[in-house]
Amino acid sequence: MRAVVRYVLTAAPEPDRMDVITTALTAAIADAGTGAAYTMLKSRLTGKSPRVDEAISDLEQDPGSLSRQFAVSDALAAAGLAGDRYLRAAARNLVEEVDRRRTLRPVTDLPGGVLQVFFTTDRQPTGDRHPARQFGAARGEISYGTCEVAIRRSAGSEEPALPTLLRPQSRHDPDGHAVLLRSDIELQAAYFSKLADTIAHCPANSALLFVHGFRVSFEDAARRTAQIASDLRFAGVPIFYSWPSQGRLSGYAVDETNVEWTLPRLTSFLIGLLERTQVAHVYLLGHGMGSRALARAVADVTAARPDLAPRMRELILAAPDVEAEAFRRDIAPALTAAGGRVTLYASSGDDALQVAQRTRPYPRAGDSGDALVVAPGVQTIDASIVDTSLIRAAPDTAQRSALADMRLLISRHLPPSQRAGLQAVDIPAGRYWTFNEQEIP
């Protein structure tokens, strides 16, 4: 019999744990990555080390990620740059510049809280007690548990607290990012018992299962799941499945291999979620490469256990990194066989999908334009003018998120014809939908 081991990991990521260069880069990127001091510091770092260049590029995508901040700090140390006095002086100037800009802007104290998020992962534990480093990029056995994530709510939201809100949170990340505070690893039986009980006590008796895409760490997956649940105002239990993505730009080929490797484990977990809880509705959301595993897992469960299929209420694929022809020919018919609703948000501008476009010769199901996939039973939405990254954008960004439309889809079960901001486009292959920029919610 396996020994019972329970880990309780708490995060106390203090700013002084990071070197001053990483701290400066993070602050500037979160502040829109502009200004002479940032440009100067980045130019001095560029070309010194491929690892540093990549780590900065990864951080620019999500400056709220502690795992990405650690990657920059580790890369600077490995390259012998962390102690460079000229770089450190430039970094201090940059911190002062960002602080000056911040003091000129009005402070908006948005409401926030700590959400409980359930997880399953087949990443290998690292043994590090910091939750941002708890699981690495290597393959491992299945682990189960829960996370506590501090989130900042969207402005203007006056709706009731989320079902898995544990407590109010007064200490926010100054830039509004979600923060992973804690992670508990549970044994399988205890995990499913806790999950079933939590779902049973939610008025909606529902769950949201998120499967992340390429270039995402465990920490990033936890943060995004909590923020997605908050932005959707999801009335059920948020869950994420984290497969062993390398979490960096150069990891695409390895990620492709690992997302295929994870498929049977994800399928098994989905069956377990439906069998071992009394959840009435499961909403399934996959992004990028994660859509590849999630779509096939849903198709496999539908074929093997048609009795479970009706409880998979919605399948939402955001910028799916799946070969378009394979999706149209094989996956879409399997997904729609049981009558479930499938929604595909296409966007060739999605950052993760752009990597696929550069490295793979065939169109992806998430591509827009001439390659847009229109298939029977699939509601295709050209989301090119909105953000499909599922990363919480800066508060002052002008770009709207596809999550606004997903919220109407999930909370009110509205078809595209009844969702504000969408308009129909008819082509020989069928009908698809696009966002009307003037009416985006």
Structural domains in the chain plus CATH codes: 15-103 (no CATH), 112-435 (3.40.50)
Please state at what angle helix 20-30 crosses helix 85-103, rounded to 10 degrees. Answer: 30
Question: Mean pLDDT over all residues of the chain?
Answer: 88
Q: Is the pLDDT of residue 84 over 90?
A: yes
3-state SS assignment for residue 379: strand
What is the largest distance, in Å, between two alpha-carbon atoms of the chain?
65
pTM as predicted? 0.92
Mean pLDDT of 112-124: 95
438 confidence band (pLDDT: 50, 70, 90): low
Q: Which residues contact 54 (CB under 8 A, 6 or more apart)?
A: 75, 248, 249, 250
For tokens 């203007």, the residue is 156
Q: Is the pLDDT of residue 6 over 80?
A: no
Tokens representing residue 54 in the block: 């990549």
Please state at what angle helix 403-412 crosses helix 218-232, rounded to 10 degrees. Answer: 60
Which residues does residue 314 pair with via DSSP β-bridges, in sequence order?
283, 341
pLDDT in tens, 293-330: 999 999 999 999 999 999 998 999 999 999 999 999 99
Q: Is the pLDDT of residue 10 over 60?
A: no
AA identity, residue 32: A
Q: Which residues contact 287 (CB under 8 A, 6 or more apart)?
A: 210, 211, 212, 213, 318, 319, 352, 388, 389, 390
State the pLDDT at residue 2.
37
Tokens representing residue 111 in the block: 């409401």
Under DSSP, the state recorded for 1 is: -
Cα–Cα distance, 380 to 369 (Å, whole number): 12
State the pLDDT at residue 210.
98
Q: Is the pLDDT of residue 161 over 90?
A: no
Tokens representing residue 84 in the block: 């460079």
pLDDT in tens, 14-41: 444 689 999 999 999 988 766 788 888 9
pLDDT in tens, 349-408: 888 888 888 888 889 999 998 889 999 999 999 999 999 988 865 544 445 889 999 999
Contacts 24+ apart (CB under 8 A), 391-397: 391/61, 391/62, 391/224, 392/64, 392/176, 392/177, 392/178, 392/224, 392/227, 392/231, 394/30, 394/32, 394/175, 394/176, 395/108, 395/155, 395/176, 396/32
Using CA atoms, how far residue 400 sits from 8, 159, 178, 336, in Å, is 37, 20, 18, 29
Tokens representing residue 320 in the block: 């799916």
Contacts 24+ apart (CB under 8 A), 191-196: 191/118, 191/120, 191/144, 191/145, 192/144, 192/272, 192/276, 192/277, 194/118, 194/146, 195/118, 195/237, 195/239, 195/273, 195/276, 195/277, 196/276, 196/277, 196/278
pLDDT in tens, 178-211: 999 999 999 999 999 999 999 999 988 999 999 9
State the pLDDT at residue 401.
85
Q: Is the pLDDT of residue 422 over 60?
A: yes
Tokens representing residue 3 in the block: 């020994």
Q: Is the pLDDT of residue 156 over 60?
A: no
Contact between 357 and 288 under an 8 Å Cβ cutoff? The reply is no
* Element of type H or E holding 248: none
State the pLDDT at residue 348.
80
Q: Is the pLDDT of residue 177 over 90?
A: no
State the pLDDT at residue 355.
86
State the pLDDT at residue 356.
84
pLDDT in tens, 252-273: 999 999 999 999 999 999 999 9
Q: Which residues contact 202 (CB under 8 A, 6 or more apart)?
A: 163, 164, 235, 236, 237
State the pLDDT at residue 138.
97
Q: Is the pLDDT of residue 174 over 70?
A: no
Using CA atoms, how far residue 385 sits from 21, 125, 289, 347, 368, in Å, is 34, 38, 21, 8, 11
Cα–Cα distance, 269 to 120 (Å, whole number): 8
For tokens 């393959």, the residue is 139
Cα–Cα distance, 289 to 322 (Å, whole number): 7
State the pLDDT at residue 13.
42
3-state SS assignment for residue 20: helix
Q: Which residues contact 435 (CB under 8 A, 6 or more apart)?
A: 381, 382, 383, 385, 386, 405, 421, 422, 423
Mean pLDDT of 126-136: 94
State the pLDDT at residue 236.
96
Backbone phi and psi for residue 314, each to the nearest 5 degrees, phi listed first: -140, 140
